[in-house]
Structure 1
Amino acid sequence: MRNGGRGRWIVVEKAATHNLRDVCVEIPKEALTVFTGVSGSGKSSLALDTVAAEAQRLVNDSYPSFVRNRLPHTAQPDVQRIDGLTFTVLIDQRRFTGNARSTVATATDIAPLLRLVFSRVGEPSAGYSPAYSFNDPSGMCPDCEGLGVVQDVDLDALLDLDRTIDEGPVRFPAFRPGTYRWKRFAYSGLFDRSKPLRDYTEQEMRDFLFADQMKLPDPDPRFPKTAKFDGVVTRLRDVYIRNPPRSKSRETEEAMHRVITTQTCPLCKGARLSQAALASLIGGRSIADWMALSVDRLHDLLADLRDPRVAPALSEARRRLEALRSVGLGYLTLDRVSSTLSGGEAQRVKIIRYLGSPLSSVTYVFDEPSSGLHPHDVRRLTELLLRLRDAANTVLVVEHHPQVIALADHIIDLGPAAGRQGGQILFEGTSAELLRTDTPTARALREPLAPRATIRPDHGHVMIRNARAHNLRGFDVAVPLRRLTVVTGVAGSGKSSLVTCELPEQHRDFVVVGQDPLQGGGRSTPLSQLGLAEQVRRIFAAESGLAPAWYSFNSKGACPVCRGRGFITTELAFLDDVFTPCDVCEGSRFNPQALATRVNGATIADVLDSPPATLVELFADHADIVARLGWMERVGLGYLTVGQPMDTMSGGEKQRLLLAKHLGEVGGGRDQRIILDEPTTGLHGTDVDRLLTLFDELVDDGATLVVVEHDLRVVAHADHVIDIGPGAGDAGGRVVFQGTPADLAVDRDSFTGQALAQAFHLSPV
């Protein structure tokens, strides 16, 4: 240990979490340390899954067992020793949960301050603070219960009036003939099962649809003896509207979209609040009006509001609004549902909780905070990181962005490659020292950026007409065909609204490969997402004569002890759960009978533990498998094993896997029209170059690519750039520039142009 000991350094000895190879490193305290390296090199494994995870685990262990059992459980990282840890805050890019009652105002704790202001100053007063909350019975709209929308069942979509009960008149999976729900009204004794619904009397139809816990006078003996009867609509409202299931099949989800309507609440007009709360005004505006303003506009409004009765609350509200502006979120409205924020926006909302905190000697760990940020906004981010550091805190950042790397006090570069070829420390030192090395990060930082030399020829275009989604101002814009078009602009300018809303809506042949999470958790893998799992099982089944289900760890092939999970969970009541590798299957997840079969010398467990390149050789005689795994390699995911659980993959990895899945299904780029929403999320510069090579191959093969992106490497490589802005929210929504990257770099009215000019080392005009 260096002189100064644990007071100056966080010391990590022999960390082996995930792909780390017994890493030993010393991280300086009260400094900004950036962890760099190619995607999958082990940056997050070291900073997040080792340092942050162990710090949080130790803090949780300090609480009484009663409290500890109610805190998130963090697994102990694979490390021999960590010393010098302090209280640690992890600010990652996980989106907020899908709770419709959480908004930007509630997530930032601005809502309670504004409620307090209105309860003291609003005229006429609606009462105490809860009377202004849509999450409290005293303040919520009684019709929509504070949700702003009302949902109900569309009877025309739900019922086929020409069918009898035996024929299945309800167009919903849970009410098909033979199902549990169908048996309830079939055996109720209330209805003639051979009579079409159209011929029901008014009372029969009322009972069929709206009966609520009706005691049956003469039910069929097959009807449960102690049960009461609910109508179809009553049951749908209870099970699928008031308490929707957390997990549901795709068929059920599609049926819900078809038969359940959602409308703005006619009473509160979507404001969520009671009439008394909406009638209480300050300066002619209600609290709902305040929430509907952008952060920038509300900040300006409160700047002119002075009232000694609520001065402390106003002061703190202004401080928090200023914090939102400082991280580039001034365009958000406070009533925006938090689950609709992107990962980058969610991370920045979390950050503001700690700005101005009186705590010091805290370790803040950030996971790629520049994700989703325009270069113009990254400057604000770096100022924020430096403010946290200068308040006597330790700031650890996993990052690829050159602007953030350049400001680091200390850099830890991992590699040399991804996955099993990574996990080693390549460099420690300053950014200037890093540039003199030959690591992949240093080479990427030194590589000069230049605009595309040759623009592809004109092959026509499609028009987006009268674009008005969200903040767009009703403009027309041309999108070239068989070219690489990049759509840029500051965060919140309207890029995604134009490309992922308007373009596919007006031109249905464009397919969006966005940031929506792939379905599947710990039991879903890249192999299953690519549609290859069943094909591989059939190959093993043909070799053994067993059914394909024997080669699935979710079916007959599962290890009987761990049930196909690969590990055993030991619950210790008030202590943390303990996860240990399964001794029977040794983590393979399969039972002995499944593992007894070999194809070209490999078991099914060997297949799942292999990267795509290995399987291309193993299944060389199967063209479809080779082709689809080849796309996984080409999108830059060759370092993953095909059996890696989906819940361990980053958002950027999932998006590239989705792209590989799409290309595998359509067989390549010919005549494809693909929209990509920030595909470089989480990518190192060398990985971005690899992705651009793939883009070139697809476009040269006849594809049209439209990419929403901030990365200047991608912008410089485009045939055509559409810049939206100039600002965010109300200050954006217009076309600032259309043309080539070279022309954009000399357009000083565009923030993107200014950033490109700096990257191209052009003199100011």
Structure 2
Amino acid sequence: MKNKIVIKGAREHNLKNIDLELNRDQLIVFTGLSGSGKSSLAFDTIYAEGQRRYVESLSAYARQFLGQMEKPEVDYISGLSPAISIDQKTTSKNPRSTVGTVTEIYDYLRLLFARVGVPHCPNCGKEIKKQTIDQMVDQLMELPERTKVQLLAPIVRGRKGKHEKVLETAVKQGYIRARIDGEVVDLTEAEIDLDKNKKHSIDIVVDRLVIKEGIGKRLTDSIETVMKQSGGLMIAEINGVEEMNFSQSFSCPDCQISIEEIEPRLFSFNNPFGACPTCTGLGEKLEVDPELVIPNPELTIRQGAIAVIGWGSIGNPDSYAYALFDALMKKYHFDLDTPFKELPEDIQNMILYGTDGEKVQFTFSGEYGTRNYDYAFEGVIANTKRRYEESSSESMRDEYESYMTSIPCKTCKGARLKPEALAVTIGDKNINQVTSMSIGDLRTFFLEVELTDRQKAIGAQILKEINARLGFLVDVGLDYLTLSRSSGTLSGGEAQRIRLATQIGSGLVGVLYILDEPSIGLHQRDNERLIQTLVRLRDLGNTLIVVEHDEDTMHAADWIVDIGPGAGEHGG
């Protein structure tokens, strides 16, 4: 019986006390009319019990995070493996989730670029190499005489914890100042209590000096000390205002730019160290759209041409909006009763984008009394954006969002990453260009890319994993997708095949996979590829139960379980 899944007395939903024996390591299709009880048997009985038993095998500590699981209505089930369900639900709608992150190929790409990528200057594009201490000294000595310089050793960069040991060690070594999260503190006097759940940055102040002739020796000694403390990184604070980054790793001698140590998190758009600071790694920004603000330019301002909530009251002479626009009308000589599209272009721009700092004076009497205003009008668009950002009400934020459109971020052009990350290349392509290629082209690129012997030695294992996963996606017919494609835009069939490809890539054996109508929405060509994928999963040593109406899938099955004869109370 070890080779069988035995079910006795299944009564979940409309199942009529079913007894069933299924062979393990086979492709089994459950078929029958819609509503006959296929899903009740596959998902609500077999999958629910397999998952429940697996969770019960975990420690009490792990179980508290997974919650209680209901025991299905069944007398007895034996021969179950840990169960994985692959159903019709699409993958995450999170805007940070992409095909690359869902399949985990992006994690391997980050590692590959961090280990074998060739860094270039983000400014001039020249390939950059490591900086010597003498070069750092020369660069600082070129600053104007009497410039105050503070040399900082970054010893903690964006890591959670209280970091008590780090600070204790610094005091024992004789350092009395440190810059913690941007604020300089005295280590000998202040009681420093950092929040262990927040990320902190700690830079030890190693030396403070003034640039003048004859200071080269002291500068050299101090820089060497900084390098020992920080492992090759230094921040030079110039006159307390500007900062210069130095690294024994990478710097551009022409642009005087140093970049931080290249590590995998630099290529993550979900990490502040790699994400574009403007769009925080989303690749797009919500901006107020003038066409949504003025949806009908045939209307006059008094009739409500400005559709944004709050501005519709311009027609009411007792409103603040009327008092403001009455003052603007008198100052800029336009009429509230002229259709918006007939107003001069400079007046339209003033209404939308503001008076460019020019103030208007007006008086408004409201429930809190009469007040005189001297106000530089910011424009309807900036006003809407500000109210959106300041509002704590979710419903109001949704209201303001209805006047906004997502546009590619102006800083990163939709690439999601900092310029330093995009300046690292493999085969003359950066990580954004690589993830923007179709999976079919990307597979060819990685099979043909020319690497040095050193790069091959370091990247061999990573490339092997990337090529294998890309191969699985090609096998299930998804060679046209890109890794940068947002997972929220995938169809149900695409999402399901991505999950199947991920499961093949995991290489697990002895697992019970339960699939919900995987052929829905697929073309015949893709259906054949899907069936080949299911057969491959079975051949690895797994049991597959597929709830399906598709004839081709039934022909490919080792066993068919037909449930019926009717639906609802007539099924099961």
User: Shared fold (TM-score greater than 0.5)?
Assistant: yes
Which of 192, 200, 204 pairs up with 2:323?
192
Per the alignment, residue 150 of structure 1 pairs with: 285
- CA deviation map 1:204-228 (0-9, x unaligned): 98999999xxxxxx996669xxxxx
Query: Do residues 91 (structure 1) and 98 (structure 2) align?
Result: no
Query: Do residues 416 (structure 1) and 416 (structure 2) align?
Result: no
Which of 489, 494, 500 pairs up with 1:345?
494
Query: Do residues 128 (structure 1) and 259 (structure 2) align?
Result: no
Contact kept? 1:209, 1:234, Cα under 8 Å = no
Per the alignment, residue 414 of structure 2 pairs with: 270
- CA deviation map 1:546-599 (0-9, x unaligned): xxxxxxxxxxxxxxxxxxxxxxxxxxxxxxxxxxxxxxxxxxxxxxxxxxxxxx
Query: Do residues 304 (structure 1) and 451 (structure 2) align?
Result: no
Distance in 1 (CA, whole Å) between partners of 2:34 and 2:555 is 19
> Secondary structure of 1:20's match?
coil
Distance in 2 (CA, whole Å) between partners of 1:81 and 1:176 is 67
Distance in 2 (CA, whole Å) between partners of 1:388 and 1:8 is 17
Pairwise mapping of residues 214-229 of structure 1 onto structure 2 (< 5 A)? none
Contact kept? 1:151, 1:241, Cα under 8 Å = no
Distance in 1 (CA, whole Å) between partners of 2:13 and 2:37 is 8
> Secondary structure of 1:355's match?
helix
- Output the TM-score relative to the length of structure 1: 0.46
Unaligned runs of 5+ in 2: 121-258, 333-346, 358-363, 370-377
> Secondary structure of 2:555's match?
helix
Cα offset, 1:162, TM superposition:
6.2
Distance in 1 (CA, whole Å) between partners of 2:63 and 2:379 is 44
Cα offset, 1:268, TM superposition:
2.2
> Secondary structure of 2:463's match?
helix
Contact kept? 1:209, 1:232, Cα under 8 Å = no
Per the alignment, residue 196 of structure 2 pairs with: none
Contact kept? 1:30, 1:392, Cα under 8 Å = yes
Distance in 1 (CA, whole Å) between partners of 2:60 and 2:100 is 33
Distance in 1 (CA, whole Å) between partners of 2:546 and 2:43 is 9
Which of 257, 279, 288 pairs up with 2:432?
288
CA RMSD of aligned residues (A): 4.1
> Secondary structure of 1:365's match?
strand
Counting aligned pairs with the same residue, the percent is 39
Distance in 2 (CA, whole Å) between partners of 1:77 and 1:231 is 61
Query: Do residues 104 (structure 1) and 99 (structure 2) align?
Result: yes
Cα offset, 1:55, TM superposition:
1.8
- Which structure has more RCO (C-alpha within 8 Å, separation ≥ 6)? 2
Pairwise mapping of residues 95-494 of structure 1 onto structure 2 (< 5 A)? 95-124=90-119, 127-155=262-290, 157-158=292-293, 163=301, 171-173=307-309, 192=323, 195=326, 198=329, 236-237=384-385, 256-257=401-402, 259-305=403-449, 306=451, 307-423=456-572
Distance in 2 (CA, whole Å) between partners of 1:242 and 1:57 is 45
Which of 10, 32, 38 pairs up with 2:33?
38
Which of 36, 57, 65 pairs up with 2:52?
57
Residues 236, 192 of structure 1: alpha-carbon distance in 2 compared, 3 angstrom cutoff? closer
Residues 410, 152 of structure 1: alpha-carbon distance in 2 compared, 3 angstrom cutoff? same
Per the alignment, residue 16 of structure 1 pairs with: 11
AA matched with 2:493: G
Residues 76, 282 of structure 1: alpha-carbon distance in 2 compared, 3 angstrom cutoff? same
AA matched with 1:340: T
Unaligned runs of 5+ in 1: 179-185, 212-217, 224-229, 424-765
Per the alignment, residue 225 of structure 2 pairs with: none
- CA deviation map 1:131-185 (0-9, x unaligned): 1222222222222222222221135643699657xx878523577669xxxxxxx
Cα offset, 1:190, TM superposition:
10
Contact kept? 1:328, 1:377, Cα under 8 Å = yes
Contact kept? 1:36, 1:414, Cα under 8 Å = yes
Contact kept? 1:10, 1:85, Cα under 8 Å = yes
Contact kept? 1:169, 1:197, Cα under 8 Å = no
Cα offset, 1:332, TM superposition:
0.9
**Would you say how many aligned residue pairs link Structure 1 and Structure 2?**
394
AA matched with 2:535: L
Distance in 1 (CA, whole Å) between partners of 2:530 and 2:88 is 15
> Secondary structure of 1:152's match?
strand
Contact kept? 1:190, 1:219, Cα under 8 Å = no
Distance in 2 (CA, whole Å) between partners of 1:156 and 1:196 is 25
Residues 369, 247 of structure 1: alpha-carbon distance in 2 compared, 3 angstrom cutoff? farther
Distance in 2 (CA, whole Å) between partners of 1:193 and 1:347 is 55
> Secondary structure of 1:112's match?
helix
Distance in 2 (CA, whole Å) between partners of 1:48 and 1:296 is 34
Distance in 1 (CA, whole Å) between partners of 2:36 and 2:98 is 36
Contact kept? 1:31, 1:410, Cα under 8 Å = yes
Cα offset, 1:86, TM superposition:
1.4
Contact kept? 2:469, 2:505, Cα under 8 Å = no
**Range with greater deviation from structure 2 (104-113 or 267-276):** 267-276
Cα offset, 1:392, TM superposition:
2.2
Larger Rg: 2
> Secondary structure of 1:13's match?
strand
Residues 221, 122 of structure 1: alpha-carbon distance in 2 compared, 3 angstrom cutoff? same
AA matched with 1:151: L
AA matched with 1:143: T
AA matched with 1:171: A
> Secondary structure of 1:192's match?
helix
Distance in 2 (CA, whole Å) between partners of 1:278 and 1:297 is 20
Per the alignment, residue 522 of structure 1 pairs with: none
Distance in 1 (CA, whole Å) between partners of 2:66 and 2:533 is 29
- Output the TM-score relative to the length of structure 2: 0.60
AA matched with 1:153: V
Distance in 2 (CA, whole Å) between partners of 1:151 and 1:238 is 12
Higher strand share: 2
Contact kept? 1:92, 1:347, Cα under 8 Å = yes
AA matched with 1:140: A
Cα offset, 1:128, TM superposition:
1.0
Residues 197, 304 of structure 1: alpha-carbon distance in 2 compared, 3 angstrom cutoff? same
Contact kept? 2:313, 2:322, Cα under 8 Å = no
Cα offset, 1:81, TM superposition:
3.2
Residues 299, 152 of structure 1: alpha-carbon distance in 2 compared, 3 angstrom cutoff? same
Contact kept? 1:162, 1:196, Cα under 8 Å = no
Contact kept? 1:100, 1:337, Cα under 8 Å = yes
Distance in 2 (CA, whole Å) between partners of 1:39 and 1:243 is 47
- CA deviation map 1:596-649 (0-9, x unaligned): xxxxxxxxxxxxxxxxxxxxxxxxxxxxxxxxxxxxxxxxxxxxxxxxxxxxxx
> Secondary structure of 2:429's match?
coil
Residues 85, 210 of structure 1: alpha-carbon distance in 2 compared, 3 angstrom cutoff? farther
> Secondary structure of 1:395's match?
strand
Distance in 2 (CA, whole Å) between partners of 1:348 and 1:247 is 36
Residues 66, 371 of structure 1: alpha-carbon distance in 2 compared, 3 angstrom cutoff? same
Cα offset, 1:269, TM superposition:
2.2
Residues 177, 13 of structure 1: alpha-carbon distance in 2 compared, 3 angstrom cutoff? farther
Cα offset, 1:390, TM superposition:
2.1
